[in-house]
Structure 1
Amino acid sequence: MKPRLRIAILTRNFDPMGGGAERYAVALAERLAARHEVHVFAQHIAHPAPSLTYHRLPALKKPRWLNQLLFAFLTHRRTQAGFDIVHAHENGWAGDVQTVHVRPMRHNLLGDIRGMRRGLRWLKIATSPRLATYLWLERSRFSPCPGRKVVAVSATLREEVATSYPESAACLAVIPPGVALPDKPPAQAEARQALGLPEGFPLLLFVANDLARKGLDTVLQALRDTTPALPLRPHLAVVGGNPGQIDHYRRLAATLGLEGQVHFLGPQRAMSMVYATADLLIHPTREDTFGMVVLEAMAHGLPVVVSRAPWCGLAADLSEKEAWLLDHPNDAQALAQAIQRLLTEEALRARLAQNGPVVAARYAWDDIAKRHEALYREMLEARCAS
């Protein structure tokens, strides 16, 4: 029997409602705790679990860049000794394993800029404590270090990291997020009643923390364009978003003549209930290094419409038999066509619904956790041999 490991998980926000990165950190920590001693170092903890040991760290509300620096310093100081593996989900210099969930800031700031524009951008960075700190913390986690592994959540993200930080290429690996396969989701009528959604109409589902970046404006335009072509008015349930975004998109929906068709549910914890309400998931994302919501919807047997890679990392591993892949996230006309066909062609909808759980089974969380454990033990063996 392999020895039990003592593992530290570093993430500022230990809350499955925080976003894809947070759900990844929470789900992985829980599954590792079934076989190992797992300690969570976080500033915000909203997911108590008896199998985990928590270390709450102090936080600064503002500025955010200074709080990120504080978190990096505190986690480095608290995890220098006593752990077999330190697994970080945040920029900083602490961590044997660094899981990267988002596109590198260097890629966003400097990726396609050349000549004088690049020089001016460097000047902007040099004169901004916020940008300079974020870039320094990012470079700290990608700097070559003996025994360190950098894990990207998709092959698309791995290539972006390798392009932005070529020196990190030798220590890069890919381990995607996992998904929990639902046991017995509620019936659609029951789920809609519980969430106050109309029955007897087709229901599209849109889930995102950042409504703009995931393409809600494109979804609303497509809903307006496809409504006249369908025998029943399709409705749209929007899950997530902050109050300011929700107010903005509620006004936009009214402007587009979609009164009564768009239902803003805000953030939701019982996502299995949410997925059970819908006929389709619509996800014309403009930036998703992986796309956990797409995988979760497929696990629940929902047909999905999603942007192709590079806009969605998961889409690089999907075929046309498994999802409807949009060539561009801003193409409302193409999205309207996808919605119309999927709501009117039962055989097409059924094929995607049937293939979704098959895809999700390839990403079962228990298997993903075992891949992390294998990486940990490989690192420890190399450490002992050196």
Structure 2
Amino acid sequence: MKIAVVIPKYGLVGGAEAFAYELTERLARRDEFKIHVFANKWRQGTSAVTFHKIPHLPFPRFMRPINFAYFSNRRIHPEDYDLIHSHDRIFTMSIFTVHGIPHKTWIREARVKPLSLFDRSMAWVEEKALTGPYLPMILPVSTLVKDELLKTYDIPESNIQVIHPGVSIDRFKVLDQESCRYEIRQRHGLSQSDIVVLFVGMNFEIKRLQLVLKGIAHLVGTEMTNSTLKLLVVGKGDERRYLDMARDLGIQNRIFFAGVSSEVEKYYLASDIFAMPSQFDTFGLAVLEAMTAGLPVIITQKVGARDLIDPGVHGFVLAKDPSPLDLSEKLAFLMKKENRMRLGDNARKAALQHSWDKVADQVADLYHKLVPRGNPV
């Protein structure tokens, strides 16, 4: 079976890019598939993938989404492929893995700003793909994404199948937890007895680092026994701004910034609790990675990974706009080692059911079901 996979940046930084790479590499190892990737840029893996260059025209910026969709569909001749599986907005495809909510909704509700020409361009391509005569099979990465799509577009339920991202379990298996715990804590001046809350994100504002700081400050202020509670932040953001916040809250000695790390697995294994109460996250792969490391997680209803979490079993799912007190109460529960260990163990067991190999099995099954339908023209 010959498959065309479409993604602007294959295997590079980003959630959609990582999803497309991890899935496609595994499918390409199967003799039944011949995979062709159409992209602007790519990182070549070890699997037998054939790459096709899609021209990238940087100017004018607002035309980029239209240009990518146009050149992708122009390069891919449907009669040459059994299926066209796109991870980005193009005009015509057999399968569309949807990594985000409708673009207009994202800009208005998550980014809270008016639509730019670029945003209107992207929304136009999206609308053409989802309202045209050849509706693709749509694979949202979470029920949150599915629900938002159905609010905007008239899509039959039979054309939608939620397929969550997976996790690279082997990246954790090769590491020794005790060694990671010692190494990372030594690196950042944390003691082995500290209870470390881990925050991972590339957008501190949308991931709500401020709420985590306030929740910790509230807990520390009400119970002085929580002297060992610390916060370790991995990712990129305005560190000075959040250090100033921590100083105003009286917890500046409890927050440690690690910056962007290429060995984030070690940070998961060195920590005790994971907190990411995002304002909006279509899935939140960091949540699944934290669970794989055996961490109980605290997220919100606006994080797509809520699909995998049974509250009180694997961690906690807060309301969409939680207060610092809400977060503080969950942290207080997890300060008790027996609670932490029980929920963390449950989280690890649940995460192991979501390997990338199992995701590849789901998609391979779908490919076989769809091929008799033929391609869009």
TM-score clears 0.5: yes
- Cα deviation, 1:202-244, whole Å, max 9, x if unaligned, reads 21111112211111110111122223423433221212224xx
Separation in structure 1 between the aligned mates of residue 76 and residue 56 of structure 2, nearest angstrom: 17
Match of 2:175 among 176, 181, 185: 185
Match of 1:302 among 271, 274, 295: 295
Separation in structure 1 between the aligned mates of residue 57 and residue 229 of structure 2, nearest angstrom: 44
Match of 1:372 among 323, 340, 363: 363
- The answer to whether the aligner puts 1:226 opposite 2:219 as a matched pair is yes
**Which segment drifts farther, 187-196 or 132-141?**
187-196
CA contact (8 A) 1:147 1:379 kept: no
CA contact (8 A) 1:13 1:43 kept: yes
- The answer to whether the aligner puts 1:59 opposite 2:49 as a matched pair is no
Separation in structure 1 between the aligned mates of residue 345 and residue 66 of structure 2, nearest angstrom: 46
Cα distance change on mapping 1:312 and 1:83 into 2, 3 Å: same
Cα distance change on mapping 1:321 and 1:373 into 2, 3 Å: same
- SS of 1:159's partner is helix
2:197 alignment counterpart: 204
Deviation of 1:379 (Å): 1.1
- SS of 1:98's partner is strand
Separation in structure 2 between the aligned mates of residue 172 and residue 254 of structure 1, nearest angstrom: 47
- The answer to whether the aligner puts 1:38 opposite 2:35 as a matched pair is yes
Give the aligned residue type for 1:9: V
CA contact (8 A) 1:215 1:330 kept: no
Separation in structure 1 between the aligned mates of residue 50 and residue 240 of structure 2, nearest angstrom: 39
Give the aligned residue type for 1:366: D
Cα distance change on mapping 1:166 and 1:371 into 2, 3 Å: same
1:10 alignment counterpart: 6
Give the aligned residue type for 1:253: A
Cα distance change on mapping 1:75 and 1:315 into 2, 3 Å: same
Deviation of 1:100 (Å): 0.7
- The answer to whether the aligner puts 1:322 opposite 2:296 as a matched pair is no
- SS of 1:166's partner is coil
Q: Which stretches in structure 1 are left out of the alignment for 5+ residues?
A: 112-120
Match of 1:107 among 105, 108, 111: 105
- SS of 2:370's partner is helix
**Which segment drifts farther, 363-372 or 163-172?**
163-172
CA contact (8 A) 2:98 2:140 kept: yes
- The answer to whether the aligner puts 1:159 opposite 2:147 as a matched pair is yes
Separation in structure 2 between the aligned mates of residue 224 and residue 90 of structure 1, nearest angstrom: 41
Deviation of 1:16 (Å): 5.2
With structure 2 as the length reference, what TM-score do the two structures score?
0.87
1:74 alignment counterpart: 71
- SS of 1:203's partner is strand
CA contact (8 A) 2:207 2:280 kept: yes
Give the aligned residue type for 2:48: S
Separation in structure 2 between the aligned mates of residue 34 and residue 166 of structure 1, nearest angstrom: 36
CA contact (8 A) 1:204 1:235 kept: yes
**Which segment drifts farther, 313-322 or 215-224?**
313-322
Give the aligned residue type for 1:356: A
- The answer to whether the aligner puts 1:334 opposite 2:326 as a matched pair is yes
CA contact (8 A) 1:227 1:233 kept: no
Give the aligned residue type for 2:198: L
Alignment RMSD (CA, Å): 2.6
2:22 alignment counterpart: 27
Deviation of 1:164 (Å): 0.3
Separation in structure 2 between the aligned mates of residue 17 and residue 136 of structure 1, nearest angstrom: 25
Deviation of 1:108 (Å): 4.3
Deviation of 1:171 (Å): 1.9
Match of 1:355 among 333, 340, 346: 346
Deviation of 1:262 (Å): 1.8
Match of 2:285 among 289, 292, 301: 292
Identity %: 26
**Which segment drifts farther, 100-109 or 372-381?**
100-109
CA contact (8 A) 1:142 1:150 kept: no
Q: How does 1:119-198 map to 2 (within 5 A)?
A: 129-146=117-134, 148-167=136-155, 169-181=157-169, 182-194=172-184, 196-197=187-188, 198=190
Q: Which stretches in structure 2 are left out of the alignment for 5+ residues?
A: none
Give the aligned residue type for 2:37: V
Separation in structure 1 between the aligned mates of residue 121 and residue 320 of structure 2, nearest angstrom: 34
- Cα deviation, 1:256-296, whole Å, max 9, x if unaligned, reads 33333222222222222121111110011111222221111
Deviation of 1:32 (Å): 0.8
- SS of 1:38's partner is strand
1:86 alignment counterpart: 84
With structure 1 as the length reference, what TM-score do the two structures score?
0.85
